Structure 1
């Protein structure tokens, strides 16, 4: 066991004797064996224990046991207390999931402290078997079938050196070394998903397939290798079809259409916080009109002509500067498309969402912003200026519409109350040679 343990670090290219470790310790047999292996290997480490306050006196017993163990091993100990039940209720999580979230949030805090190199977790091969099965039934896809990551020095500094060791080997080692540990009474309760798989489902499957655990471990290894190859191929494909701009990602629709029946769309959008449930909506954009988009809290995927564009959403309170070369601008009211046309080839359009302006009067950069009190312009067809607020009254606009109206400026002059009326001073006339056409697409 000790040789296998130290070989793990050699395989991932880490010299453990030059590292500082945190060993997560519950008091159960798995983490006790992990701590013992670290001590026998001469590692520099300290223990970290979470008291989730879920089992009353038993939780306090575990903490006391771990404190005693730390003194025996002569290593430092860090302890944190959680009100797990309250956290689960506030965040609408199961107790198991709440404990997991709290635990890993703390690990992140420990990581960010910079006082150590790696966190060691005591997950073993039987945990991996159960995780792979649970992920299969949850429908988590190929990545889920790789189960628990073993960890590398490049990945989050979370390492699991016991992940290929069976639980029966851990028990044998503990008895051989005369180790003591505490039992978590909740481990026998099948109301928890993992315990149901451990105590009922897997034993039932073993009656039909006695080698099911060994077969699953073999499959995990296969799926892990397949997933690594898949990741590399997807990364190469994304590099080929995704064009990175300064502030966005542009994807030619014709190229993406070839892969619309694969997982490529998901693998592209997941990097921007989108989930699998939004893939069908993005697929619809491939056949949508320009200006349609799908969004989440931070990003939008926009159909713009022959492209899909992934970009950060514009802040609602923002003031947007528009340069002469820009052809498209997103904002909370939709999207503006800009085209410079010859007046001789112009087809006149009398639509509120289209502004036709004499290009010779336009000064750049244009400014797109929410209207404010005191704004005025010369509404098309009028020779006198009018306050925008008065214009709204004349148009009998609702408060909601008024609050969400934007204006477009050129040289500190309003040229368009967006989606409503252009300014008389910028209209096209018989001598106009070039026309700036602006098209508003609503969200």
Structure 2
């Protein structure tokens, strides 16, 4: 990895262009929106891009957190943009109020405000990408922070050079390289007093973790930066393997995902592959380990994440999204022709019965209208519900009916019932109640049809 000592500004610009070409950052003719705080790193980035012939515009966030110092920084960046003769954009934020409203730390609030505005501005101005001044040491600090709190392989790639419309052209350079460029080009900058504080985790690593490592390994930043590049390439191979397992093991049916238990039990390394397959469904390493335990559990056991439930079925792990709170019931008044429910709708019609055989269709109910009392009610089934299944004329709990039908837990949770005067008329999509069947004496029938809406 090249060093710039004694410093050669022209070679530094060449290295920038080579890095941007390699990482597909800023193709020919692209204009970058550069986030400039006024500090050395962002000033160097804007100057370096401009001097390399890359069109830029400058954006500055005034978070109004440091009194006169915040105003000083804005004035400096405004003047710097004027010196480069490039467009300047600024936004003032009430960061404290935003943090309080969202129950965020000041650092988190500033980050959210910054990136949201930069992307909004990029879209408004029609620019190609937002460029920030993260450099090699920032990426190395991120790696060490991730390692310290625990990480998977994705935490080893540090800060990525490109994420959507966000680019970091300076990741090839160390802090010392940037300082050398600033001196060579005689560039002024302003210092953020909060950089000296250790209350932020990154600053603690910057001030107290990396310096002792430098004493033992003077080139630790460059060497770790080189390792990060190798980690990124290893991650690419790793993700290719994970996608291969995902294609073999995860089958999507509607909103649910099915993973065969026997096949998953045979993969190695099981814990890692299970984690990667389940991570998109809100699983961390702890929950993924619990999901692996389901492989030896009985049917009906489950693990719940923030977004999904992972259920052990007889042959499958079934991943189903958590249902949002649904209305307790839906009423159908006499003469009503349609009712909308989550995921489906019911259409209704009345007709005179002509004695012809009733078609067999699980999604259509043909009911003896004289036995019904309006309003009818549609609701989710609950424990203790029972009916008299058509053809049986014998009381049976729905829970037992579901066992006979071999329904999984997610399938049971989706069952709705139609009720008349507190009596179940139809286990919808499954079974009619014998008491409401059409007979040879029936004169009027009510026909209800279920239709999926998503």
Structure 1 length-normalised TM: 0.72
> Unaligned regions of 5+ residues in structure 1, if any?
326-330, 336-342, 360-366, 377-386, 392-405, 416-421, 427-443
Q: Find the counterpart in structure 1 of residue 308 from structure 2.
A: 299
2:26·2:129 contact (CA, 8 Å) conserved in 1?
Answer: no
Q: Report the 3-state secondary structure (helix = DSSP H, G, I; strand = E; otherwise coil) of the residue aligned with 1:286.
A: helix
C-alpha deviation, 1:248, in angstroms: 2.8
Cα distance per residue 1:176-200 (max 9 Å; x no partner): 1111111111111222222221122
Corresponding position of 1:363: none
What are the Cα deviations for residues 405-434 of structure 1, in whole angstroms up to 9, with x where unaligned? x984459x994xxxxxx66457xxxxxxxx
User: In the alignment, what sits opposite 1:268?
Assistant: 277
State the partner residue of 1:94: 105
Kindly provide the CA deviation profile for residues 77-124 of structure 1, in whole angstroms up to 9, marking residues without a partner as x: 222222323333443433323322322233343455471111111111
> Cα deviation per residue 1:348-371 (whole Å; 9 max; x = unaligned)?
996562238999xxxxxxx95476
User: Within the alignment, does 1:206 sit opposite 2:252 as a pair?
Assistant: no
Q: What residue number does 1:142 align with?
A: 153
Counterpart of 2:401 (choices 336, 342, 355) is 355
Quick one: distance in 2 between partners of 1:85 and 1:370?
51
CA 1:177 to 1:357, structure 2 compared with 1: closer, same or farther past 3 Å? closer
Q: Say whether residues 1:19 and 2:10 are aligned partners.
A: no
Residue in structure 2 matched with residue 41 of structure 1 by the alignment? 52
Q: 1:233 aligns with which of 225, 229, 241?
A: 241
Which range moves more in the overlay, 187-196 or 90-99?
Answer: 90-99
Once residues 357 and 223 of structure 1 are traced to their aligned partners in structure 2, the CA distance between those partners, rounded to angstroms, is 50
Greater shift, 130-139 or 13-22, is seen at: 13-22
The 5 Å alignment of 1:365-384 reads 368-369=415-416, 375-376=419-420
Q: 3-state DSSP class of the match of 2:216?
A: coil
- Could you tell me which of 160, 169, 172 is aligned with 1:161? 169
Flag the 1:114–1:182 CA change in 2: closer, same or farther, 3 A.
closer
Distance 1:319 1:124, change over 3 A: closer
CA apart distance, 1:47: 1.0
Between the aligned partners of 2:309 and 2:66, the Cα distance in structure 1 is 45
Which of 212, 215, 229 does residue 221 from structure 1 map onto?
229
Shift of 1:203: 1.4
Consecutive unaligned residues of structure 2, counting only runs of 5 or more, are 1-11, 328-340, 346-360, 364-378, 384-390, 406-413, 438-454
Secondary structure at the counterpart of residue 119 of structure 1: strand
Report how far residue 52 of structure 1 moved.
1.6
CA distance in 2 between counterparts of 1:358 and 1:263 reads 36
Contact 2:415–2:428 at 8 Å: present in 1 too? no
Paired residue for 1:57?
A: 68
TM-score, normalising length from structure 2?
Answer: 0.71
